[in-house]
Structure 1
Amino acid sequence: MSARRSPVSRPVMIRRAVARDAKRLTRLVRGSGAYEGKYAAAVAGYRVGPDYIEAHRTFVAVGADQQGERVLGFYSLVLDPPELDLLFVADEAQRRGIGRLLVAHMRAEARAAGLDRVKVVSHRPAEDFYHRVGAVRTGTAFANPPAVPWDRPEFEFRIPAE
């Protein structure tokens, strides 16, 4: 585990996700404000299961509250082919640097795995975020109805060797 300070008032820890995190991660995805309205169908039945967590490098950003550990966000890095498959920050934790911390952690994980680039197919409302954290626009992932009935921007994180 690595302790990281962020613009939030309490320290944020980023740790490897475990099977018991699955329900919380699923709730975070399904409850994301970025997927309301016309985007709601994309995550309505989405599930982050224990098998998914075991198969991919999934990490959670957590903070402490009165009930114990609170999930602030998470990401999942697929190694082959290299892709940032999921990146979500809880609505109430947005604009506090959590997404930036998760991306920095992902880049370090990618570098440690020997990757030189990581692809991201972005949700439209997240496009500006990916620009701000250093991803480069590389193209468009075209609509795939009925699951995803809209085009999505594709990005790439370039991972320099140390």
Structure 2
Amino acid sequence: MGSRITRPRGGARGAAVEIRRATAGDARRLTKLVRGSHAYRGPYASMVAGYRVGQDYIETHEVYVATGEDGRVLGFYALVLDPPELDLMFVADDAQGLGIGRRLVGHLTGRAREAGLDAVRVVAHPPAEGFYRSVGALRTGTVAARPPAVPWDRPEMVLPVGPGDGVTAREGR
């Protein structure tokens, strides 16, 4: 079941964003979003070079996609339930700053809560640490580099999943 939400700012007023379960048919668009992300240029390029979000991955994991009214993919996340971890989260470069990431995290915490989880592990892309902290994640440590695919240390965090959705509360909803 999808969740319709209004875009907080930017774009046309009243433009809606839908967060829905990804389907196998979304695989190519999600792969394109990952590989084209500006956050993974330069020294971080090796992390997504050749990366593929396959149909089997979508069918096996809890993958949710945010789309605009025109059907364009604005972002997505993948939640692993056992052990609980945010495996992937990407927002399209031209949709950043529109609140899509916050909406995805709000959806993620709601889904995690429904699954009976009290927290979700997040191993973040180093430049994304500030974003995750802004939505309530707490730093718990560092995951050491694993060259050649991941030649840098990454912040390890935990995102609490409480009885209420802190992201929604901070948005004033």
Same fold (TM over 0.5): yes
1:1-162 correspondence runs (5 A):
1-8=2-9, 9=12, 10-65=15-70, 69-161=71-163
SS in 2 for 1:86: strand
Q: How many correspondences in the alignment?
A: 159
| C-alpha deviation, 1:72, in angstroms | 0.2
Q: Please, which runs of 5 or more residues in structure 2 have no aligned partner?
A: 165-173
1: distance between equivalents of 2:129 and 2:7? 22
CA distance in 1, matches of 2:108, 2:69: 22
Q: What TM-score results when the alignment is normalised by the length of structure 1?
A: 0.96
Give percent identity, aligned residues only.
64
- Partners in 2 of 1:119 and 1:143 — Cα distance? 17
Give the superposition deviation at 1:100. 0.1
Letter in 1 for 2:95: A
Could you list the runs of 5+ residues in structure 1 that have no partner in the other structure? none
Cα shift at 1:130 = 0.4
Cα RMSD over matched residues?
Answer: 0.9
Provide the C-alpha distance between the structure 1 equivalents of 2:136 and 2:163, rounded to a whole number of angstroms: 16
| TM superposition shift of 1:2 | 1.3
| TM score, norm. by length of structure 2 | 0.90
Find the residue that maps to 1:100 and give its secondary structure: helix
How far is the alpha carbon of 1:7 from its aligned partner?
A: 1.5
